[in-house]
Structure 1
Amino acid sequence: MGKDNRILNGVKFLVLSVILVLYLFPFFLVLINSFKERKEILSNPLGLPPALNLSNYIYAFTKMNYIRGFSNSLVITVFSVFLIVLLSSMTAYIFVRKKWKVNQFMFFFMVASMIIPFQGIMIPLVKIYGSINMMNSKWALIYMYVGFGASLAVFMFHGFIKSIPLELEEAATIDGCSQLQTFFKIVFPLLKPVTATISILDILWIWNDFLLPYLVLMVPEERTLPLSVFYFYGTYTIEYGPAMAALVLATMPVIVVYLLRQKQIIEGVLKGSIK
């Protein structure tokens, strides 16, 4: 039995190692080519760079206006995730605790809306918001992200809140807490695992999103980092080296945050899945 377990563990380790390599290979390919000149990339894209040439990074940092793009992405991501978590948790709480008939219909409507693909409504959405002069604004984009992200967040919060004993809220009410105080002091702290899960999913989605900002933010001053990477893709030519460097610069903040907070992220995801 001990030998069989060692063989099984060895096979699992080998399979997981292969999967890890497959996942990391695209990023590795982008990273090594970000230090090469154009002719080196075209002649040998899989080879290691002859030297750590930072000229692509300096050029990309300047041309894409990295600081401005980073600040735009940060503002959009932080405000969008904050509003999605806050509003969705309060909505799910009302759906669970208030036995109104309209709540069942509204909850079903929000869950059903998750099956509608964004590509099916993006043209009418852009036309409507363009007609009321809400384009070229990061705040309009935040409003859209809240609308698109609320359904999944409400669905996840709804299932989690149902598992919280009602007696905890009744005890808080007896102690003199209002319903709003009960939610923020009793219920919301217990939602930490699912809140972490939703925040992770939404941060990755909003930070890396390209299509919706591309449709809404047409002014260069409002562009996010993924849109700034598009500077290096022309109609007839592509600046391969700077484009690779720009991709690394755009994804680096998320990677740094994950490396610094990986323990809390993994703990939140595991607790949310177990619950």
Structure 2
Amino acid sequence: MEKRRKTADIVLFTVALLIAIVFFFPIFFNLMSAFKSNSEILRDAIAFPKGLYLDSFRYLLTETEFPRAIVNSLILTAVSILFMVLVIPMAGYAIERSNAKWTNYVFVYYLAGMMIPFQAYMIPLFKELKMFGMYGSLVGPIVIYVSGSVGFGALLYTSFLKGIPREIEESAAIDGSSKYGIFFRIVFPLLGPCTASMVVLNGLGVWNDFLMPMLVLPSGKPKTMIVEIFYYVGEFSSRWDMIFAGTAMSIVPILIVFLLLQKYFVKGIATGAVKG
């Protein structure tokens, strides 16, 4: 029995290691290719770089609008995440802690919105952005990102809140705390792992989004990092050195944030899955 268990553990570890290598290889290939010239990449794509070729980074940061695209990506991601953290936890808390029937309908309405693909309502949505004067600015994508994340965020927070005892809130209410005081001083700090999970998942989606900035932000001006990288892909030829250098710069912030929040991210997902 013990031998079978050890064999099973070895097999599972080997499979997990192979999967990790498969998923990590594109990142490794991108970071390796970012320090190679275009001719070097075309000559042998999988070879290690002969030296640290930094002209691609220098050109992107000094001769193009890529720095402005970096700023746009940071603004879109940071502001969207800020409003998500301010709005969605309160929505999840109200749905989970309220005994009213209408909150269940609101929750089902949020979940139903997750099942409709973006392409199905894309054109009417853009017309609505034009009607409200948000088309062609960063405000439009931010509003869409925040509203589009409410369904998943409410599901995540309601699942997590089931593991927080109501007695803590009742004790605070007896001590004279208001509903907002109970939420922000007591409940919200306990939602740290869940918030970290939402920040990583939704932040990754906003940072790597291509379609929304491409269609909503004005043409002829720098958009986001992902969109600017796309412009170096040509029909007959592509500047692979610029593409890999730009992609490397877009990967590094995400890796840093994920490594900082990894512990809370895993805990939030695991707790939400168990309690839900």
- Does structure 1 retain, via aligned residues, the 8 Å contact 2:66–2:222? no
Correspondence for 1:92: 92
Q: Determine if the alignment matches structure 1 residue 249 to structure 2 residue 262.
A: no
Residues 18/144 of structure 1: CA separation in 2 closer, same or farther (3 Å cut): same
- Distance in 1, Cα, partners of 2:175 & 2:195: 26
1:159, distance to aligned residue in structure 2 (A): 2.2
Correspondence for 1:155: 155
Secondary structure (helix, strand or coil) at the match of 1:116 reads: coil
Residues 98/266 of structure 1: CA separation in 2 closer, same or farther (3 Å cut): closer
Equivalent residue letter for 1:244: F
- Distance in 2, Cα, partners of 1:89 & 1:271: 16
Q: Determine if the alignment matches structure 1 residue 194 to structure 2 residue 189.
A: no
Correspondence for 2:234: 234
Residues 114/217 of structure 1: CA separation in 2 closer, same or farther (3 Å cut): same
Residues 259/103 of structure 1: CA separation in 2 closer, same or farther (3 Å cut): closer
1:114, distance to aligned residue in structure 2 (A): 0.6
- Percent identity of equivalent pairs: 35
- Distance in 1, Cα, partners of 2:74 & 2:257: 12
1:117-136 Cα distance to aligned partner (Å, 9 max, x none): 11111122112212433112
- Distance in 1, Cα, partners of 2:252 & 2:22: 19
- Distance in 2, Cα, partners of 1:143 & 1:93: 21
1:175-231 Cα distance to aligned partner (Å, 9 max, x none): 111111111122212222211211111111111111111111124555122122123
- Distance in 1, Cα, partners of 2:122 & 2:251: 25
Question: What TM-score does the superposition give when structure 1 sets the normalisation length?
Answer: 0.90
Secondary structure (helix, strand or coil) at the match of 1:233 reads: coil
Secondary structure (helix, strand or coil) at the match of 1:52 reads: coil
- Distance in 2, Cα, partners of 1:260 & 1:66: 26
- Distance in 2, Cα, partners of 1:220 & 1:165: 54
1:115, distance to aligned residue in structure 2 (A): 0.4
1:39, distance to aligned residue in structure 2 (A): 3.0
1:147, distance to aligned residue in structure 2 (A): 0.8
Correspondence for 1:68: 68
What is the Cα-based RMSD across aligned positions, in Å? 2.2
- Distance in 2, Cα, partners of 1:98 & 1:261: 30
Correspondence for 2:104: 104
- Distance in 2, Cα, partners of 1:180 & 1:155: 21
1:232-267 Cα distance to aligned partner (Å, 9 max, x none): 123443111111111111111111223344344444
- Distance in 2, Cα, partners of 1:267 & 1:36: 39
Give the gaps of 5 or more residues in structure 1.
none
- Does structure 1 retain, via aligned residues, the 8 Å contact 2:114–2:152? yes
* Runs of 4+ with >4 A deviation: 219-222
- Does structure 2 retain, via aligned residues, the 8 Å contact 1:73–1:207? yes
Equivalent residue letter for 2:119: Q
- Distance in 1, Cα, partners of 2:250 & 2:53: 19
1:140-179 Cα distance to aligned partner (Å, 9 max, x none): 2111111111111011112222333322222211111111
Correspondence for 1:18: 18
- Distance in 2, Cα, partners of 1:233 & 1:126: 26
- Distance in 2, Cα, partners of 1:215 & 1:47: 37
Secondary structure (helix, strand or coil) at the match of 2:231 reads: helix
